[in-house]
Chains A and B, each alone.
Chain A
Amino acid sequence: GAVVSQHPSRVICKSGTSVKIECRSLDFQATTMFWYRQFPKQSLMLMATSNEGSKATYEQGVEKDKFLINHASLTLSTLTVTSAHPEDSSFYICSARDGAGGSQRTQYFGPGTRLLVL
């Protein structure tokens, strides 16, 4: 199957700093990538949809100025958590949608990035 990578796998930072997370589709081109967040013992919640070359679409309640998304190429999307605070500590997961396959385009997920803000 298609492979999606994320970097870093885990990061610890001080409150007030910014953290960038990269999401790459390794063996396919992804016109659309998605960013999710998962708190302990909860399910995944979609944060935003990222389309290559255009602005991301954010879900209700997600601050676009705090969670900056850039999708500059067909294989790379980045999520920057600006001025991170302890409540931003979470498991961040990206997915990439294979552009081929017509109506059956499948999303493949990265391994996730665990963020801990002290």
Chain B
Amino acid sequence: DAKTTQPPSMDCAEGRAANLPCNHSTISGNEYVYWYRQIHSQGPQYIIHGLKNNETNEMASLIITEDRKSSTLILPHATLRDTAVYYCIVRAPFGNEKLTFGTGTRLTIIP
């Protein structure tokens, strides 16, 4: 799987949009970008995933650059409950479907 690079930590004011970047410059053409988050002492929670096009769901939006070498997860109106470690993971569609977790970004929402 392609390696991803994320900033170790970020702060965001409550109610503002949180924009979490991820670099995946070695991504292959058929690999998906997945985002998970882990709130303290819980299992990771699936957020969103995409291949080429931007995606949006009830939790977040995913913006993938045209060259697919980076992406941004957007939490439109951050709340205190969004404080967590956010992981950006690149995964092949078939065969080896293991998820390799990096160190992620620790997002802290400030009241």
Contact = CB atoms under 8 A, between A and B. Distances in A.
Contacts, number: 55
B46 A49 contact: no
Contacts of A97: 97
A95 B89 CA distance: 15
Interface stretch (B9-17, B21-29, B70-78, B98-106): B98-106
Nearest to B34: A106
B43 A111 contact: yes
A44 interface: yes
Interface residues of B, number: 23
Interface residues of A, number: 27
A34 B89 CA distance: 16
Nearest to B42: A111
Contact of B32 (A1, A34, A45, A104): A104
A103 B94 contact: yes
Interface of A: 1, 4, 6, 32, 34, 36, 43-46, 49, 91, 93, 95, 97, 102-112, 114
7 contacts: A36-B101, A43-B101, A44-B44, A95-B44, A107-B97, A109-B36, A114-B41
